[in-house]
Amino acid sequence: MLTLPFRGPWLARNSPARRVPSHGTHLFATTYAMDFVAVRGRHTATTRDWRSLLSTEPVERFFAFGQPVLAPAAGRVVSVHDGEADHVARRSPLARVPYALTQASRARGGAGALAGNHVILELEGRRAYVVLAHLRAGSIRVGEGEPVAAGREVADCGNSGNSTQPHLHIQVMDSADPFAARGLPMSFRDYRAWRRPDGPPVVVDRGIPQESEVVESL
């Protein structure tokens, strides 16, 4: 069981509580993967303007960009990849069209092209590995072989790899190699969840964030 790998309220996307495989494929061990987007209220960015509808946007306007990413459990760093650029954001359907046309080439480009900058942790006492992906270029603060405690800041959220706006992708696998691994189910402990924009939060001792829930660690 994991803790949420961030501080403050984040919106759950592509939740395995909604469907499995959560990202529409079992490839790259993404069967039970989940995405999280930082929010203020239900807004993901400081601004929505003509660029949000027709063009690309600077990543700095998104709340998730640069936010600390935390180790969701104690473990050991087995792999670090850095050096991938952070892309511009693409909320606009028009801006996503040319991006979608390059999807196949990214899949052939390896882990860096898909996950962007990322860290893989071997969980303490378990044959399981956690991937934290789409990290900000140059922000990774741990090295291979280094032990980490739960809650330690390992990097910042970015928009590297196969990502259209700053967010954190997390998945659990049975091997450190995402091209050979199988995805494993994951759950989180001790968080509050807002299931409706105007509703009160509920406290969850253990669970899987539902699609479009806003969640925050206790």
Is the residue at 191 inside a domain? no
| Residue 2, domain member (yes or no) | no
* DSSP one-letter code for 65: T
Question: Under a CB-based contact definition with an 8 Å cutoff, are residues 120 and 129 in contact?
Answer: yes
- Output the DSSP codes for 81-123: E--PPPPPB--SHHHHHHHHTTHHHHHHT-HHHHH-EEEEEEE
Please tell me the predicted confidence (pLDDT) of residue 104.
60
Assess if residue 4 is contained within a domain.
no
Tokens 């691994």 label which residue? 181
Q: pTM for the full model?
A: 0.94
Bridge partners (DSSP) of residue 122 are: 76, 129
pLDDT given for residue 45 in this prediction: 94
Segments forming the whole domain that contains residue 89: 10-186
Do 21 and 30 contact (CB within 8 A), yes or no? yes
Per-residue pLDDT at 109 = 60
pLDDT of residue 175: 96
Total structural domains within the chain: 1
Q: Is 94 in contact with 55 (CB distance < 8 Å)?
A: yes
Distant-in-sequence, close-in-space partners of 115: CB < 8 Å, separation ≥ 6 = 81, 131, 133, 134, 161, 162, 169, 178
**Contact status, residue 42 vs residue 126, Cβ threshold 8 Å:** no
Question: How confident is the model at residue 111, as a pLDDT?
Answer: 64
Q: Give me the residue label for tokens 């600077």.
A: 58
Domain annotation covers residue 179: yes
Q: Residue 198 domain-assigned?
A: no
Interatomic CA distance for residues 210 and 212, integer angstroms = 6
Q: Given this model, what pLDDT does residue 106 score? A: 59
Q: Roughly how many angstroms between the first and final C-alpha of the chain, as a whole number?
A: 15
Query: Which alpha helices (DSSP H) does the chain contain, by range?
Result: 50-54, 93-100, 103-108, 111-115
Quick check: is 200 in a domain? Answer: no
Which 3 state secondary structure label does DSSP give 176?
coil
Distance of CA 130 to the CA centre of its chain: 11
pLDDT at 103: 62
Whichever domain contains 57, its CATH number is: 2.70.70.10
**Spatial CA neighbour of 158 closest among 149, 148, 168:** 168
Angle at the Cα of 22 from the Cα atoms of 209 and 159, rounded to 5 degrees: 80
State the CB neighbour count (10 A cutoff) for residue 71.
25
pLDDT per position in the chain (218 positions), as tens? 999 999 999 999 999 999 999 999 999 999 999 999 999 988 999 988 877 777 899 999 999 999 999 999 999 999 999 999 999 998 877 767 666 656 666 556 666 678 999 999 999 988 899 999 999 999 999 999 999 999 999 999 999 999 999 999 999 999 999 889 999 999 999 999 999 888 899 999 999 999 999 999 99
Q: Which of 112, 120, 33 is nearest to 76 (CA)?
A: 120
- Asked if the structure places residue 87 within a domain, the reply is yes
Look at residue 156 and tell me if it is in a domain: yes
